[in-house]
A and B are shown apart, each in its own frame.
Chain A
Amino acid sequence: MGEKAKGFFVTGDPLIYGADVSIIITLLGILIFLTYFKKWGWLWREWLTTVDHKKIGIMYLVSSLLMLFRGGVDALLMRMQLAMPNTHFLQSQHYNEIFTTHGTIMILFMAMPFMFALFNIVIPLQIGARDVAYPFLNAMSFWLFFFGALLFNLSFVIGGSPDAGWLSYPPLSELAGSPGPGQNFYIWGIQISGIGSLATGINFLVTILKMRAPGMKLMQMPLFTWSVLSSCITIIFAFPVLTVTLALLFVDRFFGAHIFTATGGGNPMMYVNLIWMWGHPEVYIVVLPAFGIYSEIVSTFSKKKIFGYKSMVFSMMIISVLGYFTWVHHFFTMGAGADVNTFFAITTMAIGIPTGVKIFNWLFTMFRGRITMTQPMLWTLAFIPCFLVGGATGVMLAAAPADYQYHNSYFLIAHFHQTLIGGVVFGYLAGLYYWWPKMFGFKLNDRIGKWAFWTWNIGFYVCFMPQYALGFMGMTRRVYTYGWDMGWAPYNMVSTVGAFLMGIGFVFQVWQILYSIKHGERDLTGDPWNGRTLEWSILSPAPHYNFAHLPAVKSDDAWWDMKNHRYGAAVQDNIKEYTPIHMPKNSGIPFLMSACWFVAGFGLTFEWIWMGVAGLAGVGICLLARSFQRNTDYYIPVDEIKRTEASLGRVV
């Protein structure tokens, strides 16, 4: 291997060589499979060029589960390193890289796409629409995310991973602190997928405001739809800040500017200020849809209308705006002064109020409800106490003077994992179990699911409760090893055991999915949970035009009322003539344009200007090609609708 190649490929670590081998074997396996079974055309026509929100949702879901695996392996490697004092399993540099990629991947490449998966799969069905407002842009968003994530993940075998923490504070993330390409991978991976995230925010905001079924007023929308609306508003205001901040960091690194350097008139603290203006709203972006999911599930499985619908709506909207006014609580210790810290401590505590309102509403919905203990309900019930403790420790951290003690300790680590796992991941998993039959037409196995649930949950508390104690004992985040004299060893060992329990829970879930593909209970009605909202009024999986007739909505919990008062298009005695359905055509441009972004990002990462320019030129050509396309839509003829509905067992 030549000198140049040595710098290009990451060498010297047996773990990385193992990864190299497994990546090559997996790639070869996929290539051979696709060629042998002649699936290339199918892959292109059905998936790579699709603009169908349901298929895009499934692609988001698969990607996010893969990223959950990668981020989870990072977490287990860290926990193995920390299980015992003075371990030499990972070197300090490797440990830095792993905690950086763990954080970035889990938030930006796991939580975000998992959330977008649920947006895509559920929102158009729930509001009675046939697709999103901008289907082409939707495909664009997915592929930008996909190639951004690919670029980021490539760093650990090519060029070297970023190692400056998940938010990459300067001066460490500046050229002087991180000279290699790792930090550029971070910038471009996030920038490229960030364009997609912003576009998704705009897309779903417009979809919800403009594409609701006839008659559905804003205050009749399901709460998940409201939660997505509030999350999208936050995306639209927060993501541009991230893009600008990282662009400024790139200007520093690439052009040698001094915006965030400690010398030459720059100020690294401005970066901290800016990045948290995105970073804090970001946690509300991911948790608000989870709140929406819990609301749907609690109401469905308690067989009751949600308690306090209006207060739910208002609290979510308040959170989405107030979430923008709390960012300084991430750096109380920067020393911005007592008045600044006081203001942001108060806003932070205030945001607990609407959240508390929601918790009470869920409890009151369950009160005297006829509760069925399905898997989505189990995860929802597990969420409530977990998030409550996470919220309480959050209020402890919000007390600015006390924060000087907790700041960047394991107490903080335990707190945000409790809100992000207990709130966000539990929520998305609950949503996954809830809407899985709608996506694939079968339920996930209950018995294996319960094993997964209990190992996840017990594992969670075993993993993170000791970390609160470790924080109080003085263990700070991002230390790669410690001595016996600190007295941290037993707690760390327990925490590692918990982390592996959660890993086993994930394995159970993979097994559960594989098992259920073959043996899962088929959903023949389209309404396996006796649901309340419109997505359950059509068959599972939904036909690609979703609704043969657009439903006419007259109340909230529209499908529940249709079933019980028998109004609306879905009821058989009210069949109207079919009319041709207007649908968007598939397009290869989102895939190609995002691939060009990838080329540009890769070139700029290694500062190969020719490659960056070529990639960006490709992006420009794709944009031009699209703007001259006129033939972008078609009509599904009535015959085909009739045939599809009949084949799905609906009376025509």
Chain B
Amino acid sequence: MGSHENHGSAKTYILGFLFSLLLTAIPLWLVIQHVMNKTALTVSILLIAVLQLIIQFFFFMHIREGEKPRFHVMALVLGAVMVFTIVAGSIWIMTFNSQVH
């Protein structure tokens, strides 16, 4: 267990927590205040979601640590495939036959 010396400090955790709160509050505010049209809103929320993901990776999941980054890469690739399946699959399925009409 000795090789894992750095698990982040209180400062990085609090910073990460504040960032993730902020990135949750912004899309909520955007939706409630109706500040954009539908397409712009969707794109903004998606972008903020990606930012949120990055924050989680770096501040809480210690993506840069570990003696074997190979595992990280494998897990991330599999995760990316799954996310692609969920998002693209749902869009494809839920467009319902529109290509036939």
On A, residues with C-beta under 8 Å from B are 209, 233, 237, 241, 267, 269-270, 273-274, 277, 321, 324-325, 328, 335-340
Contacts and interface: CB of A to CB of B under 8 A. Distances in A.
B82 A237 contact: yes
B85 A325 contact: yes
27 contacts: A209-B71, A237-B78, A237-B79, A237-B82, A241-B86, A267-B94, A269-B94, A270-B90, A270-B94, A273-B90, A273-B93, A273-B94, A274-B90, A321-B78, A324-B82, A328-B93, A336-B93, A336-B94, A336-B97, A337-B95, A337-B96, A337-B97, A337-B99, A337-B100, A338-B100, A339-B99, A340-B93
A273 B90 CA distance: 7
Interface residues of B, number: 15
Nearest to A338: B100
A198 B82 CA distance: 16
Nearest to B79: A237
B92 interface: yes
A325 B78 CA distance: 13
Chain A CB within 10 A, most for which of B71, B90, B97, B100? B97
B93 A335 contact: no
A340 B92 contact: yes
Nearest to B83: A237
A324 B97 contact: no
A277 B86 contact: yes
A237 B92 CA distance: 20
A270 B95 CA distance: 11
Main secondary structure of the interface of B (DSSP, over half): helix
A549 B40 CA distance: 62
Given A273-B90, A340-B92, A335 B97 contact: yes
B7 to A, nearest CB: 14
A241 B97 CA distance: 25
A336 B96 contact: yes
Nearest to B99: A337
A581 B48 CA distance: 48
Contacts of B85: 324-325
Contacts of B86: 241, 277
Contacts of B71: 209
A233 B79 CA distance: 10
Contacts of A237: 78-79, 82
B95 to A, nearest CB: 8
Given A233-B78, A273-B94, A274-B90, 8 more contacts: A269-B94, A270-B94, A277-B86, A324-B85, A328-B93, A337-B97, A339-B99, A340-B93
A324 B80 CA distance: 13
Contacts of B79: 237
B96 to A, nearest CB: 6
Contacts of A338: 100
A269 B93 CA distance: 10
Contacts of A209: 71
A169 to B, nearest CB: 15
A335 B96 contact: yes
A243 B82 CA distance: 16
A279 B86 CA distance: 13
Interface in B52-76: 71
A267 B82 CA distance: 23
B9 to A, nearest CB: 15
Contacts of A335: 96-97
